[in-house]
Amino acid sequence: MIQNFLHFFADHFPLTGLHLDAASTFARDIDGVIALIFVLVGFWFILSEGVFFWLIFKFKAKDGVKAQYVAGETQSEKRWITWPHMAVLVCDVFIIVGAVWVWYNVKQNLPPAQQTVRVIGQQWAWTFVHPGPDGQIDSADDIALVDELHVQKGVLYHYKLESRDVLHDFSVPVFRLKQDAIPGRIITGWFEATQTGEYDIQCAEICGIGHGIMGARIHIESAADHAAWMSQHSPTRNVASAPSSPASVAR
């Protein structure tokens, strides 16, 4: 029910969706919260500005009419504050319920992973460690790439986010995903892509002079394309026994 409510706003007020695909399972939920806030804040903004200018013109200086001092202390005057105040609080309830629901689903809840990728930020590049054909991360057939992340559509991924130096932020705009990377910690989150394509990854935390160029690309592939990519890039391809060295950095 909450999701339908949020999707109604996401569909009718496509603020973010106008310029940006929604390519994860939770993207439209987040768009819905943003649209809901936009609509409620916009309604009160237009109404209050309307009343404000109406009063300015209604009570503008007129010849022969003395200005009156209005302290706003009588019950009839206080109503102009208390009634809208109550109505705004009711609007807040809708925003809080929607926002907490989305936050819980995206950040608190961790659905079981089908695949896991390691995401490592450093000044000023991203390293992505993909599982190889064995489906396991931190094994000999891992595929490590710089500024290039390959995922399969419809597969639920966990990401293990790390930083080698300062604060970074793993941001995938088409997923509506943002997560700070904190040195010394491995932060686990999840996403599931819903459409294929190639999109931006960016760093969303000022992390030094090269912050602005700390961009990467995410390649969301169909199962067949992803398997083909994996077989081409796995360091253990055409090798009878797996090498003991850690995954080499391709590219």
Binding site for Cu ion (CB under 5 A): 168, 203, 207, 214
Judged by DSSP in three states, 87 sits in helix
At its nearest, how many Å lie between Cu ion and the CB of residue 121? 5
Is the Cβ of residue 101 or residue 170 nearer to Cu ion in the bound state? 170
- Relative to beta strand 115-122, strand 156-163 is parallel
At its nearest, how many Å lie between Cu ion and the CB of residue 210? 8
Is the Cβ of residue 22 or residue 207 nearer to Cu ion in the bound state? 207
Residue 115's H or E segment, with its range, is strand 115-122
Is the Cβ of residue 49 or residue 165 nearer to Cu ion in the bound state? 165
Closest by CA to 23, choosing from 249, 202, 194, is: 194
Judge if the upstream peptide bond of residue 83 is cis by omega within 30 degrees of 0: no
Is the Cβ of residue 147 or residue 225 nearer to Cu ion in the bound state? 147
d(CA 237, CA 234): 5
At its nearest, how many Å lie between Cu ion and the CB of residue 168? 3
At its nearest, how many Å lie between Cu ion and the CB of residue 117? 18
Residue 181 · residue 187 · CB < 8 Å: yes
Is the Cβ of residue 36 or residue 203 nearer to Cu ion in the bound state? 203
* Those residues with Cβ within 8 angstroms of residue 85's Cβ, 6 or more apart along the chain or in another chain: none
One-character DSSP codes across 184-227: T--EEEEEEB-S-EEEEEEE-S--STTGGG--EEEEEE-HHHHH
At its nearest, how many Å lie between Cu ion and the CB of residue 214? 4
